[in-house]
Amino acid sequence: MKRILSIFAIVAIAVAAMAFTTACSAEKKVKKDFGLELYSIRSVLKDAQGDAAKFGEIMKEVAGMGYTTVEPANYKEGKIYGLTPEEFRKALDEAGLRAISTHVSHYLTAEQLETGDLTEALEWWKQCIADFKAAGCAYIITPGMPKTPDEPTLALYCKYYNEVGKLCKAEGLKYGYHNHSYEFKHKLGDVVMYDYLVENTDPDLVFFQMDVYWAVYGNVSPVKYFQKYPGRFKSLHIKDYHELGESGMVGFDAIFKHIAEAGTEFIIVELEGSDNPSIMEGSRACADYLLNAPFVPAKY
């Protein structure tokens, strides 16, 4: 009898262990919509420049981590990571991913700043917008600007961003601005540079992608900005010093609690560096963090 009871006990323990393992696996496999900023893995993508097959294999690995979208940050002479927009999109399609947004910079020249003539700069944007529309992007984002502009320069950039926003809107895309920390530290008189940007761009033409780590690093609260300018933050860069949640600096639970107030439509993970042996492992750790965090919604 004791032997039978022991066998039953062993079987019960095994069944319980299997159930626990299955539950954990199911938890990690819960699908949520979030993307990876491809700048994070630039060192890996360097060898895939212009090689659709290599690029596609890396994208399949990214999709396998749980990411559903990506945000490219490499555009030159009409190509994205050395691929035509069509080749780029095809590689993502085959990996089960989509480039929801992109980071693109095009600063004004000294002459354009002096004359205020935006004609040439806007012509450049027309081709850029056409290329990323072909690549399947719905959002185009400028990742920063000159760090310490004076008021006339900042005013011209706001006008410039509004004009780019008009071009994007005409093609069915949305245009936004991504911050670093200096926009919160630089002031024009009593006005914080970031506030000036938000208040002097048209909400119908320019949204903001709040990089929550850089905001915290700039000594401001992302949540307070969501409350001050509700609906302006259609995207968030979910970022930490390295892997998500490691620094303890960023209150991700509070940020996600107020995400509807912010007006957020999609989120993107970005890594400046990794504490893991490789940046790909770091990217996987960030995906796992979001997949397992109870406060992160599945969709927006």
If 0-12 CB within 10 Å is exposed, 13-18 middle and 19+ buried, where does residue 19 land?
A: exposed
Query: Whole-angstrom Cα distance, residue 99 to residue 37?
Result: 10
Q: Please state, for a pLDDT cut of 70, what percent of the chain lies above it.
A: 90
Is a pLDDT exceeding 50 seen at residue 6? no
Q: Please state, for a pLDDT cut of 90, what percent of the chain lies above it.
A: 90
Average pLDDT over residues 50-55: 98
Return the pLDDT at 3. 45
- 8: pLDDT confidence band, cut at 50, 70 and 90? very low
Average pLDDT over residues 133-146: 97
Q: What is the mean pLDDT of the chain?
A: 92
Return the pLDDT at 13. 38
Is a pLDDT exceeding 70 seen at residue 261? yes
Average pLDDT over residues 19-43: 73
- 138: pLDDT confidence band, cut at 50, 70 and 90? very high
Average pLDDT over residues 169-184: 98
Average pLDDT over residues 195-224: 98
- 210: pLDDT confidence band, cut at 50, 70 and 90? very high
More confident residue, 146 or 1: 146
Is a pLDDT exceeding 50 seen at residue 9? no
Whole-prediction pTM value? 0.89
Is a pLDDT exceeding 70 seen at residue 2? no
Average pLDDT over residues 212-219: 98
Segment 82-122, tens digit of pLDDT: 999 999 999 999 999 999 999 999 999 999 999 999 999 99
Average pLDDT over residues 174-191: 97
Return the pLDDT at 29. 58
Return the pLDDT at 16. 41
- 30: pLDDT confidence band, cut at 50, 70 and 90? confident
Average pLDDT over residues 128-146: 97
